[in-house]
Each structure stands twice: as structure tokens, then as C-alpha cells.
Amino acid sequence: MKFAFRGTRSQLLLTFFSMALGAGFAAQGVATLRFFAGAAGADAGMRTAGIAMSLCLAGVGIWFVVQGWRRLTEDGAELTIGADGIRDRRLARRTIPWSDIRNPRVRAADPSGASLVFDLAEGGAARAGITTRARRAAAINRQMGFGYRARSADLSVEEMTAAVAPYVALEPAD
């Protein structure tokens, strides 16, 4: 098993914290399930609600652990910038070609790094396989003047600008 965590130290610590929290939720869910499943003479409605709550708690915990594990073991860079476009695994399932990117700008990202913010041509989201999460975030981002955001904690604004500039004309930053 290869660990190729791509992120800052604080992101790694947050990943471990969320996994530990998830393991705690799962353990508490199992313990609560055992309690309610073995509660003889308890009100049937209360017992059913307790079992449902226990299963939800355990499910949420398992989800946190699985997501953390996936984050720790995923291969390759999160963000790749090249002649064919940008590939951000958090944003899309496929490379987003430069021909589909509209209004690209580079901004500082919090707490560190840089973001390439942009809109997509009509049909670009479907062609790139934009994730449901990114589509929902784009609806909110449009209130801030852009649709999509590809972030890198590893690149400064200057480095991101230099990486993107050979492939697309950048608009001035806000």
C-alpha cells in the first residue's frame, strides 16, 4: 500500500483527526446498537429509534474513516496543468480542456497557495465530468464572480500564473 498524501501538514493532521473521530463515531454506534438491541422490555418505538440512531452514527463514522483512507492512499497529483488542459481530481473526472475554460483568473487561496478560478463553456461541465459536489459549489461561487476553482496548496500565485500562462490568456485578478 502506497501513501502519497498531497497536501499541507495541517491537512494531513486534519485527515488523521477526522479518521480518529470517525472511528470513535463507529465504535459508539456499535456500542449503542448493542445496548438497544439487547434492551429487553424496552418500548418498541424507543428501541427502534435507538437502533436507527446507532446505525446512522456507525455509518457516519465509517464514512469518515473511508474518506480519510482514500485521501491518504490516492495516487497522483490532485492538480495537473498541461497543454491539454487542467486536471483536478476534486473537480472533475476528466481533464478540462483549455477550449472549455472561460474567464480564467489566478487568486490567492486560503490559508496558503493559489487557485485558478474560471467558468466553463456550455456543455463543458458534462464533457469534463464535473463532480456533483463541484457543480453545487459552482452555484455558490457564482455569487463571488466565478464558477469553478482549481486549488493548489503547493503553488504560489506567481507559480500558478506561470504554469497556466503558456496555455490560456489570464484575466486580471480581482
Count the Cβ atoms, other than its own, within 10 Å of residue 15: 19
Distance CA 64, CA 19 (A): 6
Q: Which three cell numbers stand for residue 135?
A: 457543480
Name 130's bridge partners: 92
- Backbone dihedral region of 144: left (phi > 0), alpha (psi from -120 to 50 degrees) or beta? alpha
Q: Which three cell numbers stand for residue 138?
A: 459552482
Closest CA to 95 of 122, 71, 114, 77: 77
DSSP state of 98: G
CB 66 within 8 A of CB 132: no
| Main-chain phi, psi angles of 119, to 5 degrees | -110, 170
Q: How far is CA 6 from the centre of its chain?
A: 13
pLDDT score of 96: 93
Q: What is the pTM of this model?
A: 0.60
Q: Which three cell numbers stand for residue 97?
A: 480542456
Q: Is 170 helix (H, G, I), strand (E, B) or coil?
A: coil
Distance CA 132, CA 129 (A): 9
Q: Which three cell numbers stand for residue 116?
A: 485558478
Going residue by residue through the chain (174 aa), what tens digit of pLDDT does each one get? 444 556 677 878 888 999 999 999 999 999 999 998 887 777 888 888 999 999 999 999 999 999 888 877 766 667 888 899 998 888 888 899 999 999 998 988 766 678 888 999 999 889 999 988 888 988 898 888 888 988 887 788 888 889 898 998 887 766
Q: Which three cell numbers stand for residue 59?
A: 455509518
Could you check whether the bond before residue 111 is cis, i.e. omega within 30 degrees of 0? Answer: yes
pLDDT score of 17: 93
